[in-house]
Amino acid sequence: MGVSSHSRLTANDPLRPFAEGNERPIAPLRPYRSMGVHGVLRYRHGLVRSYHLGPVGLFQALLQWAPTNSTHCEQLPMNNRLDYFKLSPQASNKLVELTLQLSKKPLLADLAHLIMLRASQLNGCAFCVDMHVKEAKIHGERELRLHHVAVWRESQLFSPAERAALEWTEALTQLPPHGISNSLYASALEQFSEQELSDLSFLIVAINGWNRLNVAFQAIPGSSDELFGLNKANLN
């Protein structure tokens, strides 16, 4: 798999770390196939890239390649305002890189969907709520739990660690006037190590960044469903 039907990923390809050694050759101009394992990006110069990716961080992994150099992907999320990936590719890639690094953490791989969905709800980011609900369903999350994220305090469907993560997410997303209390901090440390809490906090910072960009520039919910295979969630 690679740029053409006869070439494969090069050693310095930015998506090689996420391809898990399963790159496969494809024919030029082959359409996007699926979400979660295979992805294809079509570029204006007529070349196609296909990747075999794991389920964690597929959205970020695909976007890492798109804005580099002058090769602008035609299937990036549509929006009603400016294209921040095209205008600020270096900054966008740094945010992608941060999200990807955090997604490799075992704890965050388990909690990421809940964290990203709850922060996106609080920030009113329709694009991100739409995306993370669909991603979570595709990756096996129960639909009822997704409905309960907004009312997690009253729900009985979440573990103590998940509840602590959601509470920490809410606190860092909507910073209280007097900061984070000692009691909340102590409560979080009952469920997470200091390393885990630090990583969790950075993931909350990352999703809040994505939320603010997509709210500011009005990314259209569902506009990337075909690109990321989110239509497989069967949610319309």
User: What pLDDT score was predicted for residue 93?
Assistant: 92
Question: Percentage of the chain surpassing pLDDT 70?
Answer: 67
CA atoms within 13 A on the CB side of 29: 3
Q: What 3-state DSSP class applies to 194?
A: helix
Spatial distance between the Cα atoms of 34 and 110, rounded to a whole number of angstroms = 22
Nearest to 206 by CA among 139, 108, 110: 108
Q: What 3-state DSSP class applies to 220?
A: coil
Which helix (H) or strand (E) element contains residue 227? helix 225-228
Q: What is the dihedral of CA 139, 140, 143, 146, to 10 degrees?
A: -60
Q: What is the pLDDT of residues 10-20, one digit of tens each?
A: 444 444 444 44
Q: What is the pLDDT of residues 181-226, one digit of tens each?
A: 999 999 999 999 999 999 999 999 999 999 999 999 988 887 777 7
Q: What is the dihedral of CA 40, 41, 42, 46, to 10 degrees?
A: -90
Spatial distance between the Cα atoms of 112 and 102, rounded to a whole number of angstroms = 9
Spatial distance between the Cα atoms of 132 and 150, rounded to a whole number of angstroms = 13
- In sequence order, the 6+-apart residues with CB closer than 8 A to the CB of 122 are 170, 173, 174
Q: What is the pLDDT of residues 59-111, one digit of tens each?
A: 444 444 444 433 334 445 567 789 888 899 999 999 999 988 998 888 888 89
Given a contact cutoff of 8 angstroms between Cβ atoms, the answer to whether 24 and 52 are in contact is yes
Residue indicated by tokens 């979080």: 188
- On the question of pLDDT at 155 being above 60, the answer is yes
Query: Phi, psi at residue 157, to the nearest 5°?
Result: -95, 0
CATH topology of domain 96-233: AhpD-like (1.20.1290)
Q: What 3-state DSSP class applies to 8?
A: coil
Domain boundaries, the chain: 1-54, 96-233
pTM (two decimals): 0.69
